[in-house]
Amino acid sequence: MNPAAPTIVADATPNVDTLVSSLPTSTLIYIVLLIVTYALHAIFMHYTIGGALWTLGSAIRGRFSPSTNAPRDVLARTVRDWLPSAVSGAITAGIAPLLFVQIVYQKSFYTANLLLFNRWMLLLPALIIAIYALYVVKAHSFARGRFVKSLAAAVATVLIAYTGIAFVENHLLSLQPAAWPAIYGGTAHGPTVERIALRFSMWLCAAMPTFALLAAWQLRLGAGNASDGDRAQSARPLAILAVLTTIAAMGIAFVAWHVAHGESNVLASRIGLGALITLFAAQILTIPCWLTVAARRSLNGGALWILLVLSLVSIFSAAILREAHRLALLAGTDAAPREPAPVGGLAIFLIFTLLGVGIIVWIVRTVARSLATRTN
Ligand code: HEM
């Protein structure tokens, strides 16, 4: 970051479209990368929190404890078995947006980190403990009892939820530069509990349909040796969860927008309004698809393909809306995006990107091949 680089200052009420067209190309590229990588992170974190809650419910119902004579539940076991990897996926997929958010919003992101301080630093131990707790839920050799499994699942769920809350509070804090001195001086509080609760519950509800869809695809692809009977058994609960939480997320989003009324003029822009309309339309269209899944009790039809496309559209348009809102709020302040320093290194960056992608592809292919050999 070049300290001498000019802050991009706009009018008192800048329009996001004008703002975006006035951004230097390099900043725009980083914002696009931030949106794309954040959307990928969102897919993993949605599965993580949805899977943690599902696993907690299953542990309480004794699904992982042989002594309870629980019925065969392939969905519960598949989610439980994949959860530690999903958390690792959320963590590793978080690194790329972390890099880009620091480049684009260095001042606001770091200030929010510092104001959160201990609660921000707690993220590390929280995630480490969550992963180990999930292995306790998964373990076959010890901790077979319902109580221990439920306790471990509860610990993991609370810690994963804590991570989400910390990111939500950090994000809200990063959007109020005018309040930072008073918050630091102890004469003002950060975002109110209601604002945090609204945004967190919106995220929580929005995460569930993504989780339901990914879990449905896992069973469809044969995870946990799922049979047609297992898929039929899981179709309705997943569809009901997805429909109810989609409706709840839209309702909470409406309330959250109403509470923050006038905070930003993002919807006056083509980008902001376009993203909102796309998001809303995609969310609405998921409902009949899920109802079809529920009615047919099947995870094999074309509905899951349509849901996949609609979910990707939703996640990307939500990420665009989120970024447009931040741009509008920070424009004209000292925390607005700055042009990154014109230092070189693009070639090295591209070489390591290709190397990284190559290694990831190699690992995935190697593991997939070895899994295929084991099941044959
Ligand atoms: C299971 C663990 C995690 C969960 C549940 C989680 C959850 C979240 C949530 C809810 C947000 C959105 C906040 C908002 O818009 O208000 C977010 C954003 C983000 N997360 Fe994660 N996260 C996790 C782990 C991580 C990790 C380990 C990293 C870093 C390596 C990371 C990097 C980010 C970044 C960079 C953003 C965007 C921040 C911004 O734009 O202000 N996340 N995460």
Q: Are residues 45 and 167 in the same domain?
A: yes
User: Would you say the CB of residue 101 lies under 6 angstroms from ligand 1?
Assistant: yes
Cα(94) to ligand 1 centroid in Å equals 6
Q: Could you tell me which of 239, 241, 282, 259 has the C-alpha nearest to residue 198?
A: 259
Q: Which domain range does residue 312 map to?
A: 16-339
Q: Where are the alpha helices (DSSP H) in the chain?
A: 16-21, 25-60, 74-104, 106-116, 118-121, 123-138, 146-174, 180-185, 193-220, 228-259, 270-296, 303-330, 346-375
pLDDT score of 376: 62
User: Would you say the CB of residue 97 lies under 6 angstroms from ligand 1?
Assistant: yes
Q: Tokens 């201990």 — which residue?
A: 118
pLDDT score of 140: 78
For 122, the 3-state DSSP assignment is coil
Q: Are residues 247 and 362 in the same domain?
A: no
Q: Does residue 174 contact residue 112 with C-beta atoms inside 8 Å?
A: yes
Q: Give me the amino acid identity at 234.
A: S
Q: Tokens 């993580």 — which residue?
A: 48
User: Is the model's pLDDT at 73 over the cut of 60?
Assistant: yes
Q: What is the dihedral of CA 268, 279, 246, 34, to 10 degrees?
A: -100
Considering the domain boundaries, does residue 2 fall inside one? no
Q: Could you tell me which of 25, 19, 43 has the C-alpha nearest to residue 319?
A: 43
Q: Are residues 180 and 291 in the same domain?
A: yes
pLDDT score of 125: 97
Considering the domain boundaries, does residue 230 fall inside one? yes
User: Is the model's pLDDT at 7 over the cut of 50?
Assistant: no
Q: Could you tell me which of 177, 39, 33, 31 has the C-alpha nearest to residue 114?
A: 177
User: Is the model's pLDDT at 66 over the cut of 80?
Assistant: no
Question: Considering its fold, how many domains does the chain have in total?
Answer: 2
Considering the domain boundaries, does residue 36 fall inside one? yes
User: Would you say the CB of residue 131 lies under 6 angstroms from ligand 1?
Assistant: no
Which pTM does this prediction carry? 0.90
Cα(90) to ligand 1 centroid in Å equals 8
Q: Are residues 226 and 278 in the same domain?
A: yes
- Ligand 1, atom 28, lies closest to the CA of 94
User: Is the model's pLDDT at 4 over the cut of 50?
Assistant: no
User: Is the model's pLDDT at 244 over the cut of 80?
Assistant: yes
For the stretch 111-168, pLDDT in tens is: 999 999 999 999 999 999 999 999 999 987 666 688 999 999 999 999 999 999 999 9
Considering the domain boundaries, does residue 66 fall inside one? yes
Cα(164) to ligand 1 centroid in Å equals 7
For the stretch 321-364, pLDDT in tens is: 999 999 999 988 888 887 776 667 778 988 998 999 999 999 99
